[in-house]
Structure 1
């Protein structure tokens, strides 16, 4: 599809899960040893290079802990993206959807594409569907820890952030742009310790990762 600055891309999506077997407990609670995630990207048609990250979603495995949903938007929502004004030449682009699961259950994704002008209004305007999605969200919502996650991020010198790590479960810190690109990282080998990450000016997400590469702590920072 041809795109130029000021154009709007939009789609509706909702996420839920089905357990095809004997049901025990809440039907809305995610039960799996797999962590599942997906992302939607706008990419250049000719090269496949990502132009923008439109949407992302992840749910952690249940296992011994409570499942937890990480998502930019509500589980049922419209997603809209406006092409930046600096795109002054017509660019041909397409949508790329990435899906990923990791764990012992080997669960799989199923996909259904429906093109219709009333789908979003039908779901979003349906009180029964909204009530169901509210239950799904409540059963799988992330719960904030009152003791913190072991990392505090503050502004450093102009164009940088300081990540003060106190938890020995965090072995690496990374800074990501709003488009999902990693702009800097640092290994953590002692605790407590502070690590300066040069990012440049803008809005960034700083993540603390454990030795398995799982994000265990995040902080959003506006860097002058």
Structure 2
């Protein structure tokens, strides 16, 4: 039985490899590099977070520059993308109002297969399609590793609330560093109390929405 299953899997994989397009091959190769090196994944998440967060182009450039300097230009970028990044770092600072939007646009385009648009008109059809056609429940993970202040953490809490209240999102991931901005290891008890308070609220909301909507709501930490 096991040998038959392995043979079938090998046959299916062979058919996939034969029919896969060049663009899909390039994407799979890039994803393989991304997955093989955890540092690449962290860098990409930070880069996305810093690129989309700030409205001030000068500040955005500095955040992007810091991230790229911190991790280096990852090997999953293509030769052309590496050239663009090199040009951005060396010349973009002279015209951030032009270079930053160009960088963000290219980054969105390059990651659109991995990072979905959170707009309901885009996200809802995608989630429903995966659920109905592929029997897959998507884990919605909002981009962002940390918040810069309580105003931003309140905004992130609001986004988590909206996700839980939506009819099409049933599974979300929450990062503790995004719901409380003042985590302090010196004052561990206070930090723990605040984090637990906010998590309690979100879990209570999830249970409430389960009863209202009649579907399970799952929160992953």
From the two aligned structures, give the one with the greater strand fraction. 1
Same fold by TM-score greater than 0.5: no
Identify the structure with bigger relative contact order (alpha carbons < 8 Å, sequence gap 6+): 1
TM class by smaller structure: under 0.3
TM-score by length of 1: 0.27
TM-score by length of 2: 0.27
